[in-house]
């Protein structure tokens, strides 16, 4: 009996050249590889829609807690209208710094963005839980202290990083999540069998892409005005984080060439490129807000690549991924 992986390969082979070109190389990779199984030594059992949606739910728990802590100072289960966190698997708590307080926002625009996103990410959690009903996984253990310190050491070469300290650091913390969410939903799309579930995933992907674009735009604006740090500091952080995410996802530098000419499947904000307009000889600075390939198609990552980023482990590992944001691992069959 054909597995989902072989069906996907057959589908790719028989599809027209036109569709292949429109999807792009990274999207095809996502279609072929997104059905990675839970354990390397297990039989080739394909992931179900519920497995994929539960994997997404783990990530939404992470984002929803991050934003609600930033804005409201409490986790999602402690809101005035609590969001459920129970379900299958081991339920965990969210680790925060001692004497935690919400971000002391100084910029009203950034606070407004953070508030809207906190609401939307909370809705994603509730929606996925309702869609999964009794099969929804519980919120796993989430670390929002040591995780950022570990990434700061690996990506930025600094000993510690607190995304709740101020507006700028909050934006950098948000930057870490949003692009990852976009690539996760894109990479998993080809493995979703139900048209309804595919529509749900596509809708959430679009919202995550809105968030990612807004975060990048806000960081770029704050960087250019030097409101929080010398110009070039915040965009430099994004470039370092993107390079580190790509390294984690690919167990080393990737070979994909982005529209900025970078050899990786992730790119930070860069204002150094100069382009000519309307065939004139004059050149103007161009900002790389979009995180995409040469065809301006967002990158797609397999579940194992996403796990590598959020847990700090090699994507070659088929099981036992735990660490960084998920110190005890994720709940569900993609873990």
Task: Give the pairing type, strands 94-95 and 142-143.
Answer: parallel
Q: Where are the domains of the chain?
A: 4-245+299-311
Pick the closest to residue 171 from 117, 233, 225, 110 (CA basis).
Answer: 110
Residue 262's pLDDT is what?
57
Residue pLDDT tens, the chain, 335 long: 444 444 443 443 333 333 333 333 333 233 323 333 333 334 235 899 999 999 999 999 999 999 999 999 999 999 999 999 999 999 999 999 999 999 999 999 999 999 999 999 999 999 999 999 999 999 999 999 999 999 999 999 999 999 999 999 999 999 999 999 999 999 999 999 999 999 999 999 999 999 999 999 999 999 999 989 999 999 999 999 999 999 898 887 666 655 555 567 898 998 877 677 776 777 777 788 899 888 889 999 999 999 999 999 877 664 568 999 999 999 999 98
pLDDT for the residue numbered 277? 72
Cα distance between residue 313 and residue 162, in whole Å? 22
Indicate the burial class of 319 (C-beta count within 10 angstroms; 0-12, 13-18, 19 or more): middle
Fold of 4-245+299-311: Ferritin (1.20.1260)
pLDDT at 223: 95
How many residues are given for the chain? 335
């Amino acid at each position: 009996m054909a597995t989902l992986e072989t069906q996907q390969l057959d589908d790719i082979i028989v599809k027209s050249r036109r569709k292949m070109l429109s999807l792009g190389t990274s999207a095809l990779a996502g279609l072929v590889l997104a059905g990675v199984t839970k354990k390397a030594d297990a039989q080739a059992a394909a992931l179900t829609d519920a497995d994929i949606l539960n994997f997404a739910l783990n990530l939404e728990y992470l984002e929803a807690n991050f934003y609600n802590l930033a804005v409201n100072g409490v986790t999602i289960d402690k809101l005035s209208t609590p969001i459920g966190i129970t379900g299958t698997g081991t339920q965990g708590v969210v680790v925060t710094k001692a004497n935690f307080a919400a971000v002391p926002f100084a910029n009203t625009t950034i606070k407004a963005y953070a508030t809207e996103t906190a609401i939307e990410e909370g809705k994603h959690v509730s929606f996925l839980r309702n869609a999964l009903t009794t099969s929804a996984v519980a919120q796993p253990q989430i670390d929002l202290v040591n995780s950022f310190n570990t990434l700061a050491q690996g990506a930025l070469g600094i000993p510690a990083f607190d995304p709740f300290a101020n507006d700028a650091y909050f934006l950098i913390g948000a930057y870490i999540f949003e692009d990852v969410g976009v690539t996760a939903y894109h990479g998993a799309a080809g493995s979703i069998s139900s048209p309804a579930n595919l529509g749900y995933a596509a809708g959430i992907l679009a919202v995550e892409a809105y968030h990612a674009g807004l975060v990048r735009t806000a960081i770029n604006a704050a960087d250019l005005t030097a409101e929080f740090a010398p110009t070039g500091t915040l965009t430099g952080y994004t470039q370092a984080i993107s390079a580190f995410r790509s390294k984690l996802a690919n167990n080393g530098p990737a070979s994909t060439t982005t529209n900025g000419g970078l050899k990786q499947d992730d790119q930070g904000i860069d204002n150094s490129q100069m382009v000519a307009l309307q065939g004139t000889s004059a050149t103007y600075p161009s900002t790389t807000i979009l995180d995409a390939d040469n065809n301006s198609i967002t990158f797609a990552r397999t579940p194992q690549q996403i796990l590598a980023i959020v847990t700090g482990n090699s994507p070659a590992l088929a099981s036992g991924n735990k660490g960084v944001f998920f110190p005890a691992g994720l709940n569900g069959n993609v873990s």
